[in-house]
Amino acid sequence: MNNIVSSKWLLARMYEPDIVIVDCRFLMGKPDAGRELYEASHIPGAVYLDLEKDLSAPVEEHGGRHPLPDNFELTVTLSRVGIGNESRVVAYDDQGGAMASRLWWLLKYLGHEQVFVMDEGFTAWFNAGFPVSSEQKVLIPAKFLATVQHAMLVEMDEVKELLGDERVTLIDSREAPRYRGEVEPLDKAAGHIPGAINRFWKDGLTEAGIWKDTAAQAERFADLDRDRDLIVYCGSGVTATPNVIALQEAGFSKVRLYAGSWSDWISYEGNPVAVGGEEKA
């Protein structure tokens, strides 16, 4: 099933009663900017979910910069904004789909299949002349019951155990200079998990910021063995999620997220760190 929908697809369905549109705009380092943008202008009927307040748990010693929210608390949040088990959820942002993909992954993790990311984002919607509004929707709570898909997630201990295992491929979703350890603007140590390959998440988009089609996504990952288990990570588990989508679009089925990602990995003293280019098997 396609995980990405066009703005025209949403425009044609935005008032259907089972559609819930979620604005996920969020600017790293400016925690209030996303909500302020939403309050100024958004797709009519959209509700707002905040990356750090709603889609992450508070930061602790371990778990990374954006720890996964508590499952029960997340179901309460989803129910509060009107997302029920029968809802078709369409998430959007203005950050290339990274924040919307986080919500997509969380809903899939809770067993909700009918969730999509809107291609291109809010600015493209606005520039197309599609309707926008500053009115906030009256929230009518829905009933959301989770069926947690534990197989979608991997924790640090398992990643550590699997280092060097030829049946597993680790995929680092950050920009190449961060992967190589040349720069690190956000975390206290630079480098990558030993053995990981680098596939920058934004390479899943065209230069115009449109999601690449299935064939192009498959080409990005053509060198990967489809029988291997794939573990995807980034800095804090957010920008890895577009790569999870891209891998699914490309036909890979054995894809898991290391949600704590690099910021969690380096929080454990003694975990090995690699720098430089990709290591060859």
Mean pLDDT for the chain overall? 96
3-state secondary structure the chain: CCCEECHHHHHHHCCCCCEEEEECCCECCECCHHHHHHHHCECCCCEECCCCCCCCCCCCCCCCCCCCCCHHHHHHHHHHCCCCCCCEEEEECCCCCHHHHHHHHHHHHCCCCCEEEECCCHHHHHHCCCCCECCCCCCCCCCCCCCCCHHHEECHHHHHHHCCCCCEEEEECCCHHHHHCCCCCCCCCCCECCCCEECCHHHHECCCCCECCHHHHHHHCCCCCCCCEEEEECCCCCCHHHHHHHHHHCCCCCEEEECCHHHHHCCCCCCCCECCCCCCC
Categorize the per-residue pLDDT at 3 as very low, low, confident or very high, splitting at 50, 70 and 90: very high
pLDDT tens for each residue of 95-144:
999 999 999 999 999 999 999 999 999 999 999 999 999 999 899 999 99
Structure confidence at residue 21 (pLDDT): 98
Domains of the chain: 4-127 (3.40.250.10), 151-265 (3.40.250.10)
Span 241-253, average pLDDT: 97
Structure confidence at residue 280 (pLDDT): 52
pLDDT tens for each residue of 67-88:
999 999 999 999 999 999 999 9
pLDDT tens for each residue of 45-66:
999 999 999 999 999 999 999 9
Query: Considering the chain, what percentage of its residues have pLDDT values greater than 70?
Result: 99
Structure confidence at residue 279 (pLDDT): 59
Structure confidence at residue 281 (pLDDT): 42
More confident residue, 280 or 242: 242
pLDDT tens for each residue of 182-209:
999 999 999 999 999 999 999 999 999 9
pLDDT tens for each residue of 38-49:
999 999 999 999
- Please tell me which residue in 234, 240, 244, 245 is annotated as part of the active site: 234
Span 167-174, average pLDDT: 97
pLDDT tens for each residue of 140-158:
999 999 999 999 999 999 9
Catalytic, 234? Answer yes
